[in-house]
Chain A
Amino acid sequence: MASPPSPPLLEIEGLCVSYATAGGTLRALSGVSFRLQPGEALGLAGESGSGKSTVALALLGLLGPEAALSARRLRFGGRDLLSLSPEERRRLRGGAMAIVFQDPFTALNPSLPVGRQVAEPMVFHRGLAESEALAAAIGLLHQVGIPRPEVVARSYPHQLSGGMQQRALIATALAAEPELLILDEPTTALDVTIEAQILDLLESLRRSRRLSILFISHNLGVIHRLCDSVCILYAGEVCETGPTKAVFRDPAHPYTRGLLASLPRLALGSRKRLSPIPGTLPDLEKPPPGCLFHPRCPYGDKRCGEQSPLLSSPGPERSVRCWKAQEIRGVAWEEAAGGNGRPAARGDEPADQAVAPLVIVRDLRKRYRLGGFWDALVWEKPGGQGWPRPAWEPKFLRALDGVSLAIAAGEVLGLVGESGCGKTTLGRTILRLIDPDGGEIVIDGRAIARAPERELRPVRRAAQIVFQNPDSSLNPRKTVGEIIGRPLERFRIASGAGLRRRVGELLDMVRLAPSYASRYPHQLSGGEKQRVGIARALATSPRFLVCDEAVSALDVSVQAAVLNLLEDLRRELGLAFLFITHDLSVVAHLAHRVMVMYRGGICEEGTIAQVLRPPFHPYTEALLSAVPRIDGERARIRLREEGPAPEFAGRGCRFQGRCPRLLGEICRTVAPPVLEPLPGHRILCHHRLETLAAVASPIADEAPPPGA
């Protein structure tokens, strides 16, 4: 923590923001207060709709004319922000106060070289000449860890990877030498290994420049990793603040406890059924009387519904907005939420491997040609002399490079990997939404890899898919009833009154009221939409379900509810799952077996306990150590970010480009052998098993999360 006597850099007291709407006034923020010392990192956490980004925009003065803003105190560096003129606010913005937005892919101007974009604030705010600024920009790019900054400065954003773009954005924000850096979900769009590097960078910048950081994120693990203190927002109110470690170890507010109880944990041995927070955010046009959280709070009583609680202090430097903060100490959320703490018996009931697997995939291959017809045309001189001759040499991306797997009924196979590794292609190819180039697919005894569409009908009924994006997976012009009813109609499972009854049953199965059948998708929340997507997939009573990032777009409390639902359905219906995700914690929570995928191939597979313990494939090890977590942290392994490296050409190990444990020439030329430390546990690596087994596990075996 920063030394107490120095005056705070940022002081916010009683910040209120409201919007006039057709139905009255929408209170986006009510009475938000916190302070930030120089050199301190404060995390602003909360689920979507809690008002996190509104705080940042209010600070920057970017809220727009329709927002009504008031505050008892809004001071930055000793100056009152409310009394500044728009021109002075503009000079402050990007000067002493800089922001980095979530999506690096849209925040950089695609038609300007990166160096110019980093240099621009220095010209505007510091009055440097163009050439000086450009030189300084190259220095900055170097500081944020970009290799070959002179080259990158001349490149355009599309030539850089996502992590490099985010680094360049941070460089842009640093260009005017700000005192406060606001980061709005800066790593949410990035892969976990890249996220870990960006967090390392932010930490070192904070140390070296004594930079204050306001870090906005829905990801409690990331906040735990970076921030000294944390401020939890709910429905535009601060419900708890305090030092990060203390708050996460001993959360005082029921909402904080609920958030922590909803998080799937990576650590083995602490696997419990998740306890989601019931209900949804209140309507901020008509907020409930009393405590905003009481309609969803398992601890609530009569007073909570009548009087708004005041901030009280349960410990040093902590404050909490709850009447019952003292009473409920020691009463775990799970207990209060109603005996949901029963352990998930998942790991203890391994799926019966003796029965023939329901889904078998052998040596599945799919490649895409890069570029068009003319891109593949090259002119070459045979033997380096004579006239050049045309040759057609297309380049291919190997999306699936000989993948094999088997899933038994009632088994969950987790598939993890970073974006672009081919996991979505695999899920879709198994269901023949994409035609494979080679290999075999057998579902429920039918070989379908090359079957024509009309022969697929029974498989279409038996194998279904749940998609990632709840906003795109439901047709906005159809009611929920039509959406769920269509598969029943199509496979002639039910019609008329029977169809309506079955739709009701399916809605009930995903814990939605029957009245939802007449609603349109836009009238549902994200979690509800995802449940409808699951109900649609279940309509044909399938035996195999592909879940493609099915919970990734959801808030943690909703994600927990959907994960519980999937687990229940698996038990009740004996479904086989292929669970595709980038989130290792989710896989650790749900899956029996895991496959780790990298660039179209599997590099490690085994039961969840085997994969989460040494020996590790170097890639698995790096993935595990990169996951930001709230329960302790061990070794850190960071992967080099791949530059514009040549595509994996099919020689040697596919992980050679980024491997932190590269052995040498052998990795580049010889395909790695399969190591099998235990039956069913396979690792593709040139290292000896003993070497791989000797590494410290980046995750703790037992991590009792006290208080949560």
Chain B
Amino acid sequence: MPAGPPEPGARRRLPGNLLAGAALVLVIAAAALVGPWVAPFPYDEFHIRDRLKAPDAVYWFGTDEYGRDVFSRVLAGSRISLFMGVAATAVSLFCGVALGLTAGFFRGRIDEWLMRLMDLLMSFPPVILGLLILAVTPPSLWKTVLAVGIVYIPAIVRVTRSVTLELAQEEFILAARARGENAGYILFREILPNAWPPIIVEASLRVTFAILLGAALSFLGMGAQPPSSDWGLMISEARSYLDQAWWMAVFPGLVMCLTVVGINLLGDGLREWLDPRLRHGGA
């Protein structure tokens, strides 16, 4: 549309989903940070007389089979779950973006080898691949993070590669080559800033997947170790009590769900906000 260009420096309006997502994520992250000090009970304290109590004024989210306070355990679990999600995604982002840019820009044999390697990684079910990486050594949290990170590298590589392939055809890349720019400048200064939006969306999706996969690995005994709490671990422990104590599974599940929604909103909002084309309400 022929509308006159908006004045530069016009007020940046934060997208609504960015605000909502950021608020949700902030609340949950804050809860994870201050959890141990605000929790009404230590997360591993047994109250044998109050086993499997429904939510009430004392135990807000009820208690589990040992009488441990579910609310306190959810708070404590948020630390491990969030750390798992964010750190694992950072690992896959770091490796995935570098590999994706390389494959998409240089094409040819490098591309072929890298992509076949990614196919190999993808052909394993995530949990099996995670187990494979973890099984050889004694379990510990950082190894779980690494394993989950590696599992999700192919997804990031594929997204990065496909945007890079597209962007490499643009005339501004040719213009950069006509100035004799080196590959590093073209990749990181010309292509990457334009490739961020889909990568950020993919990454925010991966955070939630990573939380879930971390939970699954915890359940299998390869992640968080009892008695420490983790949302995934809590849900799996609650499995056998579902008919007597729904709250044991519902509350950690609900918080996990809120986290996932919050992170996705945040990712979407970031994408909109970072894109100068969408920022000023222009075309």
Residues in chain A within 8 A of chain B (CB atoms): 22, 26, 49, 235, 280-285, 428, 431, 433, 453, 456-457, 460, 463-465, 467-469, 472-478, 486-487, 490-491, 515, 518-520, 522-525, 533, 536-537, 540
Which of B29-37, B81-89, B170-178 faces chain A? B170-178
Instruction: Give the interface SS of chain A, mostly helix, strand, loop or mixed.
Output: loop
| Cβ contact within 8 Å between B178 and A476 | no
Interfacial chain A residues near B174, Cβ < 8 Å: 428, 433, 465, 467
| Cβ contact within 8 Å between A473 and B2 | no
| Cβ contact within 8 Å between A49 and B277 | no
B282 at the interface (CB under 8 A from A): yes
Across the two chains, which residue of chain A brings its CB closest to B10? A523
Residue A26 contacts which of B1, B9, B179, B181 (CB distance < 8 angstroms)?
A: B1
Interfacial chain A residues near B9, Cβ < 8 Å: 518
- Known A-B contacts: A280-B4, A519-B8, A525-B5. Give 16 more (CB < 8 A): A282-B2, A284-B2, A453-B180, A465-B174, A467-B171, A473-B175, A478-B193, A490-B180, A490-B181, A519-B5, A520-B276, A520-B277, A523-B5, A523-B280, A533-B175, A536-B175
In angstroms, Cα B175 to Cα A460, docked, is: 10
Interfacial chain A residues near B281, Cβ < 8 Å: 22
| Cβ contact within 8 Å between B177 and A433 | yes
Q: A49-B2, A487-B179, A522-B277 are in contact. Are A515 and B172 (CB under 8 A)?
A: no
Residue A456 contacts which of B3, B170, B180 (CB distance < 8 angstroms)?
A: B180
| Cβ contact within 8 Å between A490 and B194 | no
Instruction: Tell me the smallest distance from the CB of A574 to a CB of chain B, in Å.
Output: 20
| Cβ contact within 8 Å between B2 and A515 | no
Across the two chains, which residue of chain A brings its CB closest to B180? A460
Interfacial chain B residues near A524, Cβ < 8 Å: 5
In angstroms, Cα B22 to Cα A262, docked, is: 53
Residue B179 contacts which of A281, A460, A473, A518 (CB distance < 8 angstroms)?
A: A460
Instruction: Tell me the smallest distance from the CB of B101 to a CB of chain A, in Å.
Output: 15
Residue A467 contacts which of B3, B175, B190, B283 (CB distance < 8 angstroms)?
A: B175
B227 at the interface (CB under 8 A from A): no
Instruction: Tell me the smallest distance from the CB of B196 to a CB of chain A, in Å.
Output: 9
Question: Which B155-199 residues have a C-beta within 8 angstroms of A?
Answer: 170-172, 174-175, 177-181, 190, 193-194
Q: A456-B180, A515-B8 are in contact. Are A465 and B276 (CB under 8 A)?
A: no
Chain B residue total in the interface (Cβ 8 A): 27
Instruction: Tell me the smallest distance from the CB of B128 to a CB of chain A, in Å.
Output: 34
B138 at the interface (CB under 8 A from A): no
B6 at the interface (CB under 8 A from A): yes
Q: A281-B2, A515-B8 are in contact. Are A472 and B171 (CB under 8 A)?
A: yes
Top 8 A-B pairs ranked by shortest CB distance? A523-B5, A281-B2, A473-B171, A460-B180, A467-B171, A477-B193, A49-B2, A472-B171
| Cβ contact within 8 Å between B3 and A518 | no
Residue B276 contacts which of A467, A472, A476, A537 (CB distance < 8 angstroms)?
A: A476
Interfacial chain B residues near A431, Cβ < 8 Å: 178
| Cβ contact within 8 Å between B2 and A283 | yes
Residue B171 contacts which of A235, A469, A525 (CB distance < 8 angstroms)?
A: A469
Instruction: Tell me the smallest distance from the CB of A429 to a CB of chain B, in Å.
Output: 12
Residue B1 contacts which of A49, A464, A523 (CB distance < 8 angstroms)?
A: A49
Interfacial chain A residues near B276, Cβ < 8 Å: 476-477, 520, 522
Interfacial chain A residues near B5, Cβ < 8 Å: 519, 523-525
Instruction: Tell me the smallest distance from the CB of B7 to a CB of chain A, in Å.
Output: 9
Across the two chains, which residue of chain A brings its CB closest to B282? A522
In angstroms, Cα B178 to Cα A263, docked, is: 31
Instruction: Tell me the smallest distance from the CB of B178 to a CB of chain A, in Å.
Output: 5
In angstroms, Cα B171 to Cα A476, docked, is: 12
In angstroms, Cα B172 to Cα A49, docked, is: 26
Q: A468-B171, A469-B171, A472-B171 are in contact. Are A523 and B6 (CB under 8 A)?
A: yes
Across the two chains, which residue of chain B brings its CB closest to A467? B171
Q: A472-B172, A475-B194, A520-B276 are in contact. Are A433 and B178 (CB under 8 A)?
A: yes
